[in-house]
Amino acid sequence: MLTRDVVRVVVPLANDALVDDENRYCDVGPNFRPRLARALCEAWYYQQFESDTVCLAFGAGTDEPHAHGPTLAACCAAYAERAQANLPMLVNRRARICFGTLPEMQWVRAAAAARYAGREIEFVFVSQPRHLWRVWVIKWLFMPRIRARYVPSGYTKQVPLLREGLGYLRVLMHRCGFGWFAQRLRRRWTLPFDRG
């Protein structure tokens, strides 16, 4: 059992977005909403019973076609505020290149370490079950020293196997030193699943 002085950073990983007439992200898509609901349940539970400090973190940037509007993290934070999530938030509003699971997790880790320097941090990653396996692999390969929990959430549509396969391929490219290329591909070509 963890002590109450551990900071819990609850991270509902971004998923899909709605686009306005000017080709900018304007809101989260329907597949993200069950993630946020589950993340809020987890955050409120930790705040009530286990931890004094709980925050939500949103680290997703934008893909290249939507780079002139708000980040996906800003849309997620706005939706969380509408859902009355009265919790502190770490929100990526500027680092647009943080698009994809690995860059999003890296941004959240760095932001939490900067805000809660010197304190013990535990990350709680919330996503749909098929995606959580890749989150675990990324944590194991790139962030082995962080403490993490993995919470499955509901979804309106399952992550397609092709997209997951491409995700594992990008993780392998990052691991082999071709992360810049993998990130360029991820930001340039998005799949229909990323659109709400």
| Euclidean distance between CA atoms 190 and 89, whole angstroms | 27
Residue 104 · residue 139 · CB < 8 Å:
no
Compute the half-sphere exposure of residue 116: CA atoms within 13 Å on the CB side of its CA: 21
Position 50, amino acid:
E
Tens-binned pLDDT, residue by residue, of the chain (196 aa): 545 678 999 999 877 888 888 888 888 888 889 999 999 999 989 888 776 789 999 998 887 777 788 888 999 999 999 987 788 999 999 888 788 888 899 999 999 999 999 899 999 999 999 889 999 999 999 999 999 999 999 888 787 788 788 888 888 888 888 877 776 666 666 655 455 4
**Residue 190: its pLDDT value, please?**
63
Q: Which of 122, 95, 107 is nearest to 3 (CA)?
A: 122
pLDDT at residue 39, rounded to an integer: 94
Question: What residue ranges do the domains of the chain occupy?
Answer: 7-194
In this predicted structure, what is the pLDDT of residue 67? 78
User: Distance between CA 139 and CA 132 in Å, rounded?
Assistant: 10
In contact, 191 and 164? CB cutoff 8 Å: no
Give the separation between CA 35 and CA 14, rounded to whole angstroms: 9
Helices (H), 57-128: 72-82, 101-115
